Amino acid sequence: MNLVKGVLLKALSALLFAQLSACVRFLGEEGVPLGQIVFFRAAFAIVPVLLIDAWRRELADVVRTERPWGHLLRGTISMAGMFLNFAALARLPLVDATAISFAAPLITVAFAAWFLGERVRIYRWSAVAVGFAGIVVMLWPYLNLAQYAAGGTATVAATVGAVCGLIAAFTNAGAVIQTRRLTDTETTSSIVFYFSMYCALAGLATLPFGWIWPNAVQLTVLIAAGVVGGLAHIVLTTSYRYAPASLVAPLDYTTMIWAFVLGYFLFGELPTVYVFVGGAIVAASGIFVIWRERQLGLRRVREAEGPANIS
């Protein structure tokens, strides 16, 4: 264990994911088709994975699998989530889309109870309920139906983006559940590889529907989105090798800070008070769930060790 290294790596992964979101936001403003963004994001994410595994002489682990159908299910769920998440980023301010995405850990708690049979007590259910109240606060500006009477296309686009972001949170939670199942037999490299491959194929399938020929800046950002996304997953996974998940997981919420900074300086975006209040509620709920998991983990350890021997 190296707690400092684990914390620094986790913080770096949060920055990388925020940079990935900024790349997608820029490409959306540039009018790059969604499927084309998905293809580059997924295809070039494989590059750092292959390079690192080649350096470790573990390339065989990338394609080795005992559960190809499990990878297909995970890839399908993640593919839907990537399309939805990118659609949200193209239509919403960066920090809004990021804040809504933090519903995923709360949804994961419910999914873990339903699909994995994990025991979830009242404390965590209460945190989930409070977290969803925070989501409603963030979505409130998009739920005002009276504003559509004016027929503003920007308002409609933002609402579509908010809905896509919320649905993406559900698919991301589903991907987490399927990943937990796969980790019983599959390596991290194979999970990332097959996920990226399926998403790249899905993005490539949209080619007949009108990709553009990117200029130099657009092409650079497309490639950067893939490489940065791949590195972010690698750094994130590595951080858990050096520190307990309960220690580093709350650092996910630093992505909100980077999203605010990047959104302001790159796109001139300022979050509304709804995002600040709702985001704070969601973050507090998520951190409480993580803290509760840690307390339960410590209790299990003490129970497993049994009463101390007195001589």
pLDDT at 131: 86
Please check whether residue 79 lies inside any domain of the structure.
yes
Higher local confidence (pLDDT), 51 or 295: 51
Tally of domains within the chain: 1
Average pLDDT, the chain: 85
What is the rounded distance in angstroms from the CA atom of residue 239 to the CA atom of residue 220?
28
- 201, 200, 194: which is closest to 74 by C-alpha? 194
310 located within any domain: no
Read off the pTM.
0.86
Tell me which residue range forms the domain holding 127.
Answer: 3-305
Task: Tell me, yes or no, whether 311 lies in a domain.
Answer: no
Of the pLDDT bands very low, low, confident and very high (cuts 50, 70, 90), residue 110 is: confident
> What tens digit of pLDDT does each residue of 232-267 get?
988 887 887 787 766 677 778 888 889 999 999 999
The answer to whether position 223 is within a domain reads: yes
Over residues 99-115, the mean pLDDT reads 84
Say what the pLDDT of residue 22 is.
96
50 within a domain of the structure (yes/no): yes
Distance CA(140)–CA(100), nearest Å, equals: 12
**Pairwise CA distance, residues 201 & 197, whole Å:** 6
- Asked if residue 128 is part of any domain, the answer here is yes
Q: Is residue 252 part of a domain?
A: yes
Q: Is residue 157 part of a domain?
A: yes
Token output for 43: 């295809």
